[in-house]
Chain A
Amino acid sequence: MDRKTLLADFIKTEIIRNRNAQLDESEDLLGAGILDSLSILKLVAHIDESFGIEIPDEDVVYENFHSLKAIVDYLQKFP
């Protein structure tokens, strides 16, 4: 599975916790109230565990995390 699918699965099961099965790649994760400070930490830890990518703190910003697409685009820095 590609990163996008894996991340989408994680967000659905562990963060949205199946409250809303729909997750569009451009959905505004903050505006929709899907991500909060706690779940951002979870997501960053998950990316480290499953892809071996340690995201530096200064990159954990709105610009890189506002949508699934933004996260995947950002992660392309780490091939």
Chain B
Amino acid sequence: MRYLLFQAVDIAAERFPDANAIQYTGQCLTYAELSTLSSQLAQVLIKQGVSRGDRVGIYMNKGLESAVAIYGIMKAGGAYVPLDPFAPIKRIDYVIKDCGIRHLISKPAKLDSLHQILNADSPIEHIIGLGAQEGLKVNSVSWDEVSNASERLPSLSLTEQDLAYILYTSGSTGMPKGIMHTHRSGLSFAEWGATTYMLAPEDRLSNHAPLHFDLSTFDFFASSIAGATTVIVPEAFSKFPANMAKFIEEEKITVWYSVPFALIQMMQHGKLNARDCGALRWILFAGEVFPTKHLRQLMSMLPKVKFSNLYGPTETNVCTYYHVDKIPDDTDETIPIGIPCANIEDLVVDLDDTVVSRGEVGELLIRGGVVMKGYWGQPEKTRSSFFRRVVFDQFNDVFYRTGDLVQLDENGNYRYLGRKDRQVKTRGYRVELDEVEVALLAHLGVEEAAVYTIPDGQGSNLIEAAIIPKEGTDISESELVVHISKRLPAYAVPVKINIVSSFPRTSTGKIDRRELQSLAIEAKNE
């Protein structure tokens, strides 16, 4: 019986021991090897004191070790916490302290950053993936030593309700927040994905998304359920459309999953049409709206491929989906986000939490196996993110409030209309505009700050900001960029920071961000 995420790997190792589980550049790990190595890593972690529920960080560029780390941590009873290898040290440091990470899985290439992370008050006690000779002040074990450990799967009393992974995402209070998923919520999504897209051992799935991005859970977990191969797109390639298109051809990818931006880039700059994508069965996309005119073009370029739009905040993995039919030539109407996945109940409510009539606009609420456990260390935020529907005495249904405004169309598909709050997507990345404002306001020379989006002309958004400097201070845009880059990942750093002496205001004196946005769009179009 499979009720823990890593059991999928161990089952595949029995059924298809020599099949490739993970591939990175020329190297592979078979299911038997992945199963053994992850058990060995778990043994090492347990010896170092990891116990059930402990958070273990993964801090390295992607590679075969990423899969070993994910499954090894879970086999030790821990929850894996992927740390963005490109994020500023301050942010990494915050996440490590926020969820109390004592163990880190890494690689020698990260040594410089590790020296900065291991500051005086860092809770890190053990690092795995580096030899002891590297001169770090904490206990460290090399990957070679891991492969000499006991191959026995640790025997622990884990259940599907145990914590499996925590994904950190932008937080409106100015600090990232950790979304906690259990084995059940991860499996619910992966099992639905493996069934819906009929994944088979012959399949070769791409892994384009970074580990801290929830799309990656499909690439690893749905694939292992099917005994298929996950082919990791090297991070450097994922920035170059021509490299990505070549990757699809050369690696004979059968299922590609990414944000729309990567696909649009491959189509416009990657010569995707000149590539042999004959092996490709499915293109799955999520994270952002796919502009219809680009999607139509991509679908006509790849007529044999099926397309599916997956929707869901990280808090719910994926909760609705839409298989895209042929798009009519005469309309650029946005495609729907579709219908709820299996084992999910959907509800649309108004501002008073009253269920709206069918077809009316409201916030989408989701109940079911895929929903997160809560936000790490934020019981209040967790409470307010759930809606309880009383069924009868002491028995409530618990729904997650997505914050997304939707409307059911005449065909019974949901359409996404926008956000209730100030969360935005920029090329697939989720950013709370308030977090960017807080980061700007943290600069001593900033009196007021306003952050807003402008269209990037590709169907997505770019982030722009305006600030009013404190009286008597002389402040430059580049100084602010330096300041903010120490706090936020690169994609959240505004492409432009305007330094102004006043803001447009609403009648109540609030900053009129909408007006700032219109002015910025005008300025850009001039």
Contacts and interface: CB of A to CB of B under 8 A. Distances in A.
A7 to B, nearest CB: 17
Nearest to B485: A19
A66 B240 CA distance: 10
Interface in A12-44: 13, 17-19, 30-31, 33, 35-38, 40-41
Given A30-B236, A33-B490, A60 B241 contact: yes
Interface residues of B, number: 29
Interface string B467-501: 00000000000100110010000110101000000
A2 interface: no
A62 B427 contact: no
Contacts of A41: 269
A65 B240 CA distance: 9
Contacts of B237: 62
A48 B129 CA distance: 43
A17 B235 contact: no
Q: Interface extent on A, as a size class?
A: 20 to 34
Given A38-B427, A57-B270, A58-B242, A18 B481 contact: yes
B389 interface: no
Contacts, number: 61
Nearest to A66: B236
Contact of A35 (B239, B261, B427): B239
A33 to B, nearest CB: 4
A1 interface: no
Contacts of B453: none
A19 B480 CA distance: 10
Contacts of B482: 17-19
B61 interface: yes
A37 B481 contact: no
Contacts of B427: 37-38
B522 to A, nearest CB: 22
Contacts of A37: 238-241, 261-262, 265, 427
Interface in A63-78: 65-66
Contact of B478 (A17, A35, A36, A60): A17
B54 to A, nearest CB: 28
B197 interface: no
A37 B240 CA distance: 7
Contact of A57 (B85, B234, B271, B481): B271
Interface in B210-263: 234-243, 261-262
A17 B481 contact: yes
A36 B485 contact: no
B285 to A, nearest CB: 16
A18 B491 contact: no
Given A30-B235, A33-B86, A65-B240, A58 B271 contact: yes
A41 B265 CA distance: 10
Contacts of A40: 239-240
A60 B490 contact: no
B461 to A, nearest CB: 12
Given A33-B490, A60-B241, 17 more contacts: A13-B478, A17-B478, A17-B482, A17-B485, A17-B493, A30-B235, A30-B236, A31-B109, A33-B86, A35-B239, A37-B239, A37-B240, A37-B241, A37-B265, A40-B240, A61-B243, A62-B237
Interface of A: 13, 17-19, 30-31, 33, 35-38, 40-41, 57-62, 65-66
Q: What 7 A-B pairs are tightest by C-beta distance, nearest first?
A: A33-B86, A30-B236, A17-B481, A18-B478, A57-B269, A19-B485, A61-B242
10 contacts: A17-B481, A17-B493, A18-B482, A19-B481, A31-B109, A33-B86, A37-B240, A37-B241, A58-B242, A59-B242
